[in-house]
Structure 1
């Protein structure tokens, strides 16, 4: 899943760095969950995982991958559906996904506000999704919600199906990587008919927890051996950049504005880590009041918090090590039309009390 600062390709190096510093523990708090990839990685390693994020679509992914701790069988739903899977050996989840891929498209909120036909009255029609895919998204999203209302799927099944949708959408979105803008011409992937993809079930030995909350508010509630912080590195707020995933996840018909149809209000989803002064203050608060043995801050050399000040803050609470490694980032130009490689230094600040 395309996401700013996604650590999926760095997780092995992060874990190796932890091992090199002999970091012990059984519990792990992913402070800025995002795609939930970090939490998934450590859940597979049989850590008890806590995760949180301000964005609701992230909470959906956390519910599916972190909180849910069993394979789901959709028994009530499949007993009700008169549907024959094309595969004799398909899993229950695959059968439900297969069914959703065959339902009739609907002209709902996404089709009406984020496709060319739905926004042809605007000076610049929105080209986030093809007309067909916008209606497919609406149909799948409404069907999942209706099943929940009818109580023929459990809460875990509900969030797993939502996660399937949230993770599928980016493969068909006509964007460069974030949803703050759309391409003025169609990307080849965006004109293909959308097909929902199943998620995986991750099962370990613990009761794992997730939250849709500012993690700082959880400092008195969550106690873990390892706190892992991967905050925003710059002034770019995540909420407007992922407004469409948020709207699909919530499906709350929000008031929208502007050329790109941004959600009108995201004040309660702004991160203090997008400002140098407040970022340093938040870091100190977490280091001071958090209930942890080891705190790991994942950052890079382009971040808005200066290295000297980060180290100075953390050193007040224990021993600090800095591990750096080179990382290739692909960066779009201002119009998202091309990409070029850029080498940056990924930094791991490791505070051990």
Structure 2
């Protein structure tokens, strides 16, 4: 496959990615909650749910404990005008590079435009991105020509002086996340973005747009099988042999600015503004997402670290994660899952709560045959939704029931067999004021709280603004 003809990933490898379920969710909302025009999602992950409904004019709120998710939210849900990059010197772009960027954009639109982008005219969409294509082109040239090893090369590639590991089982080796060329590419690009940011040459939205492009290409070219909890230790996968290619994020300038947070889901549910629907897709297994996606979280924070050298000297484990840059979710423990979900739903200010449930390998039947899963999780969730202190009424709908009026597509039937939607009509809650949303401990520890916090959108003098609250500080952001 040509490096210049790859379609956008939209984080398709992300665990629990709900891209294929989005049309079914919309159909369900239209039929069951037709008055709904706002939605919150506190297990946002890829932000695909909020992106989908924002493109349809809904007000959205999104939260995740992973910093990479917050970066994607800023890029895709908080961009309302063309980025200018006035602080960056823009060299003339070669016509070949421009055609490559437009070709990739066209392929992205063809594949995902109906889901996430309001504008499908390629030339108009390309022009609307302002100077972003020029900046990505400049970064592409810089990355391709970089020969100076940096943090990625030294700590995350087999050629690095600091990438050695010894596993708990006694095996040893060197981390092998990237090819030599791609490790040097990432070092060059990330160091440039960090330099621009530290010198005040990038606006807040601009740095997140650049990071979104880097993150999405990292997912494609990293030498991993979906997550970053481990890597192929013996060789490079074919995808990792492909050269890193920065592409234009499929951003939309239409739709309301979202409320966004990098925070704990339970705290966010208590703090977010009122929405018609609270959509929940919690983790149903033991995998701690901050560990499984640690490298994406590190890249997301790269420009903002105040002590990046101190940080990387403390990298540990085979995977190369800093022990003090982690988050342990109660939802990833079977014995805490239901009580945590009850606490979350008790505090959320929404008229309806909709939960996606996957009945395959999960907390209650992880070691069972996927073709014959147990119903224990289904029954426990049913009891929760029948709690009259939480809900006036509830219903459980198999995804296949929603699909019944659609034309069946090969390969989708099986994936929907174990998918259910739980829908509860929420008892009214009396909330005088929304509590402030505390920063994550890891963000406080590494000086990242001013950049990864909580933004409440507001409108002042016709300008889209957000107030970032983190660590007791307030930062006004103008988009």
Q: TM-score, normalised by structure 2?
A: 0.66
* Rounded Cα–Cα distance in structure 1 between residues aligned with 2:92 and 2:198: 21
| CA distance 1:276–1:43, change in 2 (3 Å) | same
Q: Which residue number in structure 1 is paired with residue 33 of structure 2?
A: 22
Mapped contact 1:43–1:202 kept (Cα < 8 A) = no
Question: 1:224-239 maps to which residues of 2 (within 5 A)?
Answer: 224-239=275-290
Equivalent residue for 2:393? 319
Counterparts in 2 of 1:131 and 1:205: CA distance versus 1, 3 Å: closer
1:278 aligns with 2:336: yes
* Partner residue, 1:307: 378
Partner of 1:338: none
Counterpart check, 1:163 vs 2:212: yes
Aligned to 1:82: 91
Whether the 8 Å CA contact 1:179–1:242 is kept in 2: the answer is yes
Mean alpha-carbon deviation: is it higher for 238-247 or for 87-96? Answer: 87-96
Q: Which range moves more in the overlay, 253-262 or 161-170?
A: 253-262
C-alpha distance in structure 1 between counterparts of 2:138 and 2:385, whole Å: 52
Could you list the runs of 5+ residues in structure 2 that have no partner in the other structure? 1-10, 100-122, 166-171, 303-307, 365-376, 402-413, 427-479
How far the C-alpha of 1:219 sits from its partner, in A, is: 3.2
CA change 1:282–1:23 in 2 (3 A) is farther
SS of residue in 2 equivalent to 1:318 = strand
TM-fit CA distance, 1:153? 1.7
Query: For the residues of structure 1 that align with 2:393 and 2:344, how far apart are their CA atoms?
Result: 16
The answer for the alignment partner of 1:349 in structure 2 is: 422
Q: Give the Cα separation in 2 of the matches to 1:30 and 1:19.
A: 18
SS class of match (1:177): coil
Q: Which residue of 1 aligns with 2:72?
A: 61
Q: 1:30 to 1:240 in 2, by over 3 A?
A: same
The 1:4–1:121 alpha-carbon spacing in structure 2 relative to 1, beyond 3 Å, is closer
Equivalent residue for 2:180, pick from 128, 131, 143: 131
Distance in 2 (CA, whole Å) between partners of 1:126 and 1:159 is: 27
CA distance in 2 between partners of 1:163 and 1:43 (Å): 18
In 2, distance between residues paired with 1:11 and 1:296?
Answer: 13
| Count of aligned positions | 337
Corresponding residue for residue 149 of structure 2: 107
SS at 2:399's partner residue?
strand
Provide Cα deviations, 1:40-95, integer angstroms capped at 9, x if missing partner.
11110111111000011111111111122222232332xx2333342398642111
Q: Structure 1 residues 344 and 264, CA, compared in 2 at 3 Å: closer, same or farther?
A: farther
Residue aligning to 2:321: 262
CA contact (8 A) 2:316 2:322 kept: yes
How much is the aligned-residue C-alpha RMSD, in angstroms? 2.2
Counterpart residue number, 1:337: none
Tell me which residue corresponds to 1:71.
Answer: 82
Structure index of larger Rg: 2
Once the two structures are TM-superposed, the CA of residue 320 in structure 1 deviates from its matched residue by 1.0
Q: For 2:340, what is the secondary structure of its paired residue? A: helix
User: What whole-Å deviation, never above 9, does each CA across 1:226-246 have from its counterpart, x for those lacking one?
Assistant: 101111011111111111111
Q: Secondary structure at the match of 2:16?
A: coil
Q: Which deviations, in whole Å up to 9, do the C-alpha atoms of 1:178-209 show, x marking residues without a partner?
A: 11111122111211221111102223342322
